[in-house]
Amino acid sequence: MAPLVWLITGTSSGLGHSLVHAILARGDHCIATARSLLSISSLASAGASTLALDVTAPFPIIQATINAAISIHGHIDVLVNNAGYIVIGTVEGLDEEEWRGQFETNVFGAVKVAKAVLPHFRGRRSGTVAFVGSLSGWVGHEACGAYAGSKFALEGIAESLHRETSHLDIRTLLIEPGRFRTKLLSASNMHTHTRTPSSTIPDYATMLDAKMEGLANEDGAQLGDPEKLAEVVVDLVKGNGVAKGRRVPLRVALGTDCVDGIKEKCEETLRELGDWEGVGRSMGFGS
């Protein structure tokens, strides 16, 4: 099998960084992107091609960058939309700029990059578009409304894309990690709505303080291994390892906490559907 060509956003740290190394170790080609080329210089030294890409840039700039990426090897086989960050704050407490910033990167950035790559995939009748979702795409935790909202949105977008492009032999994959030991919760990567005492609504202060303390304690202590995660992602795309001989579904939950959280949410949803099924089915004319 010829080496695949991967394009990954957000590779300066975390899953993106680990994924580049896993891809290169398997003998595939990788085009690593980040806002700053300096932040991914070590990936260039490891053998990856590197390009500067800010997913919040206007679409023509993103399209030009994708065209440059295609020209490196003549084609792209796999896109991994990985760039993202987390905003912490209550639904009421976050301001409009914070809400928009979260969605500009996590949602609209992923959509723009996918839109830029899809014509290439359609022309080749081949390609994989992978989105990095989250347990937060299933469960909305307190003080994580903006982040959860962005990941819920990504779930629906990816599912729609899957239905729109599967007949073109373009595959969509939702990678749904739980808590992995990356820099997602680090102070440099996490935007928190705690600038001044006056920015915190008193009714939420105790809950928000507890949330911040919990996230700070969790940072660097997550049970998930990002290198194992990266290896499984490569397996899912290539059909090797854990995916050999198996049909890979649209969604794959990775991490014990994610598997447990999604199962609990599905079980709760099924119970509630059962409790209210009679009401739900009584809405038609003549019911």
Catalytic positions? 147
CA distances from 65 to 37, 61, 117, 241, 276 (A): 13, 6, 10, 32, 50
| Angle at 199 (CA atoms; ends 198, 205), nearest 5 degrees | 85
Instruction: Quote the CA–CA distance of 133 and 136 in Å, as a whole number.
Output: 8
Asked if residues 96 and 139 have their Cβ atoms less than 8 Å apart, the reply is no
Q: Measure the CA–CA gap between 55 and 34, rounded to whole angstroms.
A: 9
Closest alpha carbon to 79 in 30, 24, 151, 142? 30
Contacts of 257 (CB under 8 A, 6+ apart): 135, 178, 179, 223, 224
Sheet with strand 29-34: strands edge to edge: 49-52, 29-34, 5-8, 78-81, 127-132, 170-177, 251-254
In degrees, to the nearest 5, what angle opens at C-alpha 198 toward C-alphas 197 and 201? 95
